[in-house]
Structure formats: C-alpha cells, structure tokens
Structure 1
C-alpha cells in the first residue's frame, strides 16, 4: 500500500509543478506590468546637479545635437529659421494622436523621444507615428535619470527601448535624449560619461535650444512665447505629448506652427537638421524660398552626423545617395517619405532584434489585458470574502443566541443507547486513548472498533484494554468507507456516532451530540472538532483554522439549513438515513461530505451541535498537512461534482442545491483559488503603486479576520493567546492552503486520481484538559 501511495504521489508532482508555474506566470505578468508603468523609483531625478569641469567647453557652448564621429564630440544646430519640433515622454493614448493630427494638418514633421515602456504598451500609436513620416528617438525605458546608474542599467534601458521600437514599428533608432536633460550647458560631470558611452555606440544625443515649459501648463500664450527662438535663429524646441494633461500643448501647437511659418520658418526633424547643416558646411547653397533643410546636397547612405549604427545587425536604411532632404509643401517636412533623410536615424530591425521586439510587445499586450482583468476579478473576490466574513459574524451570532437560550430544546431528551463506530487502520499510538475516553461517556453507548486490516496490532490493543461494551470487528484492508459501512451493519442501535481512531471525546460529548435527534427531521449532527496538539506552530495554525473557519462556517450553514460536511472526527447519524442513502460511498475521497449532501437530497435535516466536542490529532508536519488537505480539497470537489444534480432538485430536499452548493463552490473553491493573487497584488501594489496605502489595506483585512477569529474564540470559549499566531498564519499557512487547493483543482481538471494516504500519528492527544 505504501508503494502504491508513493506511485500516486509521484504522479501528482507534475500537477504541483503545473500549479506553481501557473502562479509564477501570473506573478511574472504583474511584475512586467508594474515595470512597464515605471513606478519603481524610475520617475524621479536622482541628482540635483554637479560640476562640469570634465566636460569640454566646446560641448557646453555648442549646439543641441551632440554626436561623436570618430570618437570626438561634435555639436550641431538647426539652420537659421528652421524649427525642429521635439516631443518627450510619449506615446500617450490620449495626447499623442492629437499631436500627430495637428502635425498632419499643418504638414510638418516632428521628432518624438519615446519612453520604451510606453512604446511597448501602445505599439499602434508608434506605427502610426512612423508611417506619418515622423522621427523617433530613445528616452530610456523607464524614464530614469541615467547619471547615477550602472553601465548595465544604462545598457538595459537603451536595449529594451530598442526592442520595443523593433516590435512596435520594425525599426531601431540612433537618436537619444536623456530624461531631465535641457540645454548642453547643463551637462555635468555625472552625465557626461553617459553621453560619451552612448556616443561611442553610435548614438546622437539631442538637447534643446528652446523649452516651451508646457508641462507647467502656463497657458497657450506663454507656451508659444517660450517656444519661440530669438532673432530668426534655428532651434530644437521641446514640447511634451505625454506625462500629464497636454490639452494646452495641443491647442498651442497649431497656433505656434502657423506663426512660425508666417515668420519664414520651416520645420524639419533632427536628422533633417543634421543633414542640412552638413550640406551647408559642404558649401551647398539653398534654393530661394525653401527650407534650409533642403540645402542638403546628398545623403551618402550613412548617418552623416556620425551616429553610426546602434547595433551591428541593423542595416542602414537612410536616404540613398543624391536624395534631397525634401520637404512637405516646401516646409522641410517629408512626412510621407519613410525613406527620406528626415528619418535617417531610423534603422530597419532585423534578425533576433525584430523577433525579440515582437515577443516583448506580445508579452506586454498579454499583461495589459490580464492585469486589469485580474484586478477586476480579484476586486469581486475581495468583496465576496469580506461579505462572507460579515455573513459569518451575523449568522454565527444568531445561531449561538438561538441554540443557547434557556428555553431552547430539540424535544424530549434522548437517553437511549447509541452505537459508536471507530474505524481503525494502524492506530496503535492512539487507539487506547480513544477507547479510554469513550469508556468515560456519560451516555450509554456500545463501541464497535472496525479494524481495517491493521498490521501493527491495533485490534489486539483494543481487545487487551478489557473495556466494557467494546466489540472488535476485523476485516481485510478496504478503506475507511468500507470500515464505516461494516460498523453500521454491526450497530445494534438506531443512532450511530462515527469518529476517527485518533480522536478523543469528552465524557459529555456523545450526550450532547445525540440530543438533536429528538427532532424527527434531523438525520445527522456535526460535532465540534478541536485540535488537541496545538502547542506547535503548525498545530496552533490549524487550531485557529478549526475554530474560525470550520466552526463559524458550520454555525452559518446550520442556520441556512445547508450544512455541507459532517466532520469525520465527530458526527452522528440515524442508521436508517445512512442505509437509505446507500451507506458511506467509496466514489469520493471525502465520504463525510458525500454522505452529508446525500442526506440533504434525501430530505433529512443536518445540524451543528457546538457543545459536542472532540479532540483530534492534527498533522504534525507540513508534508502530512499538505497530504491531508489535498485529499480533503480533492474529495470535496469530487463530492460536489457527484451531486451536481442537486442544483435542479425541487422542494425542501433541493435547498442544498439552491443555497449550499453555490456557497461552497464560491467560498471553498473559487475565492480560495484566487486568494493567492490577492496577496500577490498586495505585494505588487506595495512595490509599484503606494506602499503605505497597500499596507494599510492589508492590515485592515487582517483586522477584519482577527475580529472574526476573536469572536469565534469567544463562542468556543477558547484562549485568545493563540491569536498571536494569526499574522504569521496569514503570511505562511494560508498560502500553503491556497496552493493545496490550486493543486487539487489542477488534478481535477486534468482528470487525475488520488489515493487515500495514511497519516502518521503520535498519540499525543490525551485527555481534553491536557489539550487546552
């Protein structure tokens, strides 16, 4: 049997791995989503400025276009009466399309410095932007100040943005603008090495001549005024198409373009300005009435500003030799010419860069759909969980007050003898304590020990005790349901009490347990199972669970008349009801849940008797606990599936299907399955959103659970000291129970089978007083 159990456990390992991989995948999706939103300290400038003694004066005093041809720093500027419109921090789903519409209406191009995380989230906007003839540059992946970052972080920020561009528009770029940068005279000793490093890799760093300061939202007139260069000078002008409300930017942009055109200005991109300057330096004259960018004589098929290729795999798809920079209506635009000099910074993404980029965009698309969907679903689950707590408190209080009234009575006292059935398989450590506790019963009983093929002398120990009214029935090993059915057949009384071989009863337990049978509608009674070995950490966790979860639940279900389970450790049945239901079924691993639902469907009432206490030995190790709860969870699912027909049962016998079945599925399967994600989302929110608010929310939920647990302890007259373990239980034990349930769900969905597994017992649960 041990070998069979080992084989069964081995078959479950792939399903455990599958469950863990599923949780890992969802966690990874949330981490990706958080990283994309650049909320891990990425949106803050990490320095306030430094000296610039290491920066050449020519760079500090030079133009805003900084490249490193041949390894030497070289500044470039926009030609006179030429505007290079640049936009930072996009793409944004609201404002970038509006900016593009204004540019298209006025037939001018723009250069957009894009944040990689935003590119991966809104690839369609980037494709439209490039197709319209605009130019793009890198603005890092998470909008982080690179000055104090490691070389690895700098490389990662650039490469990830290139991948995002490749996946979104099939291109990479050689243009770069650092977040929080300004004019070249702001370069300092901390940022200079970054520009040098990127320059060596072929990137052109772009600064500004004129800053519109539109992010301050000062009003349309001031934005236009601050963006206008003086005395007809050319300028690289900074606007923003993301990062906040850009309504003023959009409104100002059209007016600004019209005014600058009226002053004789033309518009181009960074590459257009570079090539115009190179062409002018070569002595080429510009045609009268055309944009200065049109003075370019030739584009030699390489990046004339010396930017080079950003990546050895990327082919240069700049303007072919002899092609003029061109213009849109003579304005130096070229928005419709994707291969023009105005996009000379673009490179076609090929090979692994292209495929990795597409994979990144696809992964982000999954995250963009998954995370909000999960958040909504988990919000519903969270509300359901809190609603359950509220319902448990209200109904448990009503149940306690109703059952503990002095005038409450089930009917005439039940005093007739009953049969107590003790199924036992290798229970040598516990059987003496179990039978000894029954011998002290204040209610007349007969004790039937059904030895299920034990090999450790359990039957011999039971017989050697010499206790009165004890019969030992031997059978070949056939499992607990068969042993219980055998005991029912040998029972001499019309009420049978079923218990586990490791359980200890108090002297009054049987008397309290059988009193509800005074009501002829009652077919079964659930007792109050309590953890006897609660001195260990694992035992204390289970003690909290038994008192809070199981017993509060049973009070609630009792009042709703849809009790789903009579615990195997302590339950009483009318013998005729058990026989009428066909006995304890071997169809599921949760025979206690199976018979309880069957009794409901047969029209019997099932109730909870809080004063009938039984002390049971809970699993003492995490491995045994996992095995037990896995069997419970899987068996419950089997029983619910077996009795799915109860959903359509009519009349009083259909109450479980109408009320109990939905509640059990919702609160014992659906919400626990998704509950781990609530914890993952809590961590996600603490890291990526608002640590304080998220921590307070988690503590508030913990406080609600603590209130429920404290009330449950009060009803059961338990000592509150064990509640000190509850925070740790929430962090560790609860997660394990969730994983067990997920494991069970995966097993059920994949059609797996699970065998009954015997738990190791120590016999440490003695008298009830010692268990306290």
Structure 2
C-alpha cells in the first residue's frame, strides 16, 4: 500500500469501515497502530471515519487518539437508504452526535463531514435512490409540489409525490441545513469540515462560508442563497432506461429567514427546472430485456436468433441501416420470429458530433428502409456510442431531443458487459451478473466484428436470468404496451412526404458516395498503372547517336524586370562550347528596372546580342516578336533566369541533325533549393524530365516542350 501511495503522490489514507464486529476491537486497534506507524515513518497520515451508531463499538478512542491523525465524523445518513423514509441529518440527531463525539477530546483532531444530497424512497422498494440536490428540485418541479419548508425541530426539508401510481418520499439536505450545522461545528471548534458528496451538493454552499454566526445576510449574499439557478446540470426523474428529454431551464426561489431559536429556516416557493431525462420502462423487479446493437450480420445474427428461439426468449434488435440494406432477409426473419426492431442510425456515426440535419437524415432513411423491408415502422431508437447514451453535457442531449421530436422512444441501458471489446465469454457473463441489480435492459452486439464470444455467452446469460427467477421480456412489456404499439404496422401505402424526400436524398447521397469511392479506387489504380508504364518506358530510353551539327541558331528570351539575373544568363550563353553561329535576341517587355541597361552593356561587348524594346504586352507577344526578328531556322527558347551549362546549347540542338526532329525538350533543374516550394518544384522537374518525357520519347508523343529550355525548327511553327 505504501508503494501505491508513493506512486499516486498521496499524503495518506482515509479508512471508512462498515459493520465491523466489536469482538475484533483489540485486533483492529493493534492493526491501526501498526498501520499508522508505517504511514508516519513514510511521512504520511491516517484518517479514520467514524459513523454514529453501534458501529462505534469497535473503535478504542483512548488507545488510538495518540496515533490516529484525524477522525472524520460522518454526521449524515441519519436515515439510510435501506430504512423507512426520514430525515438525513435532523438538528437533534446532528447536535447530539456532535457533542458525544467531540466531548473530552482534542476537537482539532476531528473533521466533521456534512451532507448535501438526497434520497428518493419508492413505496415497496428495498432501497432508496441516492439523488443530487438538482434532481430533488427537478422531481419537485415535475410533481408540481407547491412548497417545501426547512423548519424546526428537525430543520430538514422533504416532500412526497406520486409517479406511475407509486408513492415517493424525498428527503434532502441543502444550504440551510449546511449553515445550521456549520455553525455548530465552528462553535465546537472542530478541526475542519468535509462535504458529502461532491457533485450532488446544493451549489449555494460554496457562497455561504462567510455568512456570520447570527445569519445576518447582506444584500450581496442573500440573492446567492435564495435564488435557485436553473443551470445546465442534467437531472434524472423516474425509473427505467427508456427516456424522454426536457431541456427546459428556469430559476426557482426560496425565502430564507431566522426563527425564534436563532436557526435558519427556508420556504421553497418555486422549484427550479434543470435539463431533465424522464425515465420509464422499469418494469417488474424480475423482468429484464435483452437488446442487440449494430446488426444484422449474416454470420452472428442467425446464431443469436437460433439461441433465442431455443430458450423461447424475445429480444430487441437495434439495426444499422447500411447493414439492413445489405441483409433484408435477416431483418424480416427478426420480425417474423416475434422480436422487436429499433433504429440505430444508417451509418452508426457519433451523433454528438453531427449536425441536426444529418441526425434527422440518418433516422429518417433508416426508418424508411425498415418500413420498406418489414411493413412496420418503429418507435424505438438507440443512439450509437456511450457518449450519447450517458449524456453529461447539454450538447449530448441534442440527438435524443431530435429523436424525440421525430416520435421515437430513446432506449438506453444500464447493463453493459462491453462484449464489443471481446473480453471473453466468462467475463461477459460475470459482468451481466454483477450489473443485473443496476437495471433491466442488457446491451449486447450481434455485428460490428467477431461476436463469437457473445454467441458463446448468450445461452449462459439466459440460463442465469431464468435461474434467478427473471423473465426475459420484450421492451414493449417493460413499457406496458404491445408489440404493435412500439412497431406499428403501416396503414396501406401511406408515407409522409418528408420521409420519402429525405430517404430519397439519403439514397442519392449513398449512391454518390459509393460512386466517388469507386472513382477514387479506379483513378488510383490508373495512376499506379500509368506510373509503372512510364517507368518501364523511361528505363528503355536510349540517347540518339551523336552526329555533328553546327547550323546557325537564334536564341531568344523575353525579359520583364530581370535586371538582377539577366547578366548572368547572358554570360552563361557566351561561354557555350557550341561551334556553330548563333544570335541572342532579348525582348525587353516594358521592364521598370535596369534590365534593358544590363542587356545594352552586354551587347556593346558582344555583337551577337540584340536588344529590342516594347511596351508591356506579356511573354507570349514578346516571343512572337522575337520569332519575327529571328535570322536562323533553329530557334532556342529560354527564360531570363535560366543558366545554360557550357554544353547545353550543343546538346540541345544536336538532335536536329535528324531532319525528322521538329522540337527538342531540354532538361531543367531548380537552382535554388532553399524553400519548400522550390524543393517540390525540383521533384516535379525530376519526374517530368527523367520519367515522363523519356517515356513519351519512346512512343514519339511529346506534346509540350518547356519554355525554360527547349529548341525547335522555325519552319514547323511558321
């Protein structure tokens, strides 16, 4: 344990034991002394929780007080969840136990835990439901409770209501009980307080710590305690795992006062409303429904149906539209064998991440498909993924609300053995056994992967349920309705226009998506084939036989604002090893820098360079003019920033020794590789010249020569 504490960087241990036999008092004392010594040696603390009642008998306070660092007095649960309804921490009970525990002790050694939660007792139930303060408010609002009070002598609020013909009694602790108890704790000079339990508390307690002992509330504090804010906290009302959603929020009000005994009192005059999930379908104590998600699947669904038929059990199958479209015969078999079907969307997306229009499209398309296959509609819906079925944020209520607006009953679950993770059949069965008391709807899967473990576990789950006296029933039974009530047969051929339109739109979308996928696959395949062909052709490229060629050549370039580079370009041309006559024609296309001056300076030194000027009309017009001025039949094109190597001109025009050659493509390389774009361009040039044009040469199908470095016969373009 010490090693675990070190790994967690914990400061110590809190021990909370229950139902310890007082006969072991000496053994417990010896153990705690030894445990505390080990913790203290490691510079850690031990706190011991103390529960009022007979459970105190095992604690030897006199022996332990010198060793235990803190006692935590759990001064709540006066009436536990297994008792008959009553107060959770009445004034006489709280103050009596506070006095008993702290009397003749070092009060600074005591931490007093104050409650802030509630219990909802249902008549006839074995155990109350632990609820939060917001849930107590929601239930009072739902039941239209007129008022609730916090008054003496108990100073504990409570109310009762009726739901589904069952009587409920609710007791809860709020900021008023908290302040009354906090004052007593401070008067007793205890070492501190704790709050049980975080997440269920009346959040006003966090604004109450500075309230004075006489409870004189200033104008700033009073509204914080009296106004009950309807926040985004999601509450639950009712029993069962089939829910409806109400996103209504509104503030409530309570009036706080001080009575004649100087204790705080309160009257709840309006209860706040929180976003609420209203639950139904709890069914009888021994009724349980089995549901399957993600199907149908041609391998696993038939095996599951066979098992259910053997055990004479009916289940609910929440179908994915895309799977139902592929295997309509399985959908019909599910319905024909007496099972119920539900909507599980078309493509199984996480609806919390989808636009509302997308959610409606998913549900409507699946509904239309199921109607077409079975002749029945379905009112059952289960959203994919646990994020949707256990909402903790307002945004996660949206899919449920949309489904509700479309007329669906949202089916959740509380028994989830997580068979999708394939933990093994034994673990799946064990988890169902452990969670059976938590709910009445079991979630399993008949598709979405290898479901062999689910198939293996299902007969054992059914045997276990029957052995404990459970009845496996359809969801309609839990709801107290009929199969036709949750899966109404279609009347004639009537279908709503909106569903037909959205279903048709979804199918068009589906077809387009399938086409695009097919197009992408075919296009990728063609690109791969083309690349392989080009590589093969390029590998067979052979240079032409070198023959002497020294005919006159006209070299031409268009220049616009190329003053920084054009001198170097011309110098590279002048150093060529080409033995034939050549001229260099430069068309200055209206440059605004010193391009023309640079060229004129070069022309004075080399008569082969000729400069012509024109207004800016673009590169194409500049080269057209250069062609008109050319004196020779072989034309070489280059850009003003293209630097020829000494043998470039000779290698470029040599193929013209063959009279059938009309144009020659040069091989350009990127000179400046300092930027990412330049490196990408270099890769493009490498592929274009070393692969594409060599391959095209083999098939004599070059259609383009680069303007940066190329040559052609003037006669071919005149």
| TM, length-normalised to structure 2 | 0.46
Larger fraction in helix: 1
Q: Which has the higher contact order (CA 8 A, sep 6+)?
A: 1
Q: Answer with 1 or 2: which has the greater Rg.
A: 2
| TM, length-normalised to structure 1 | 0.43
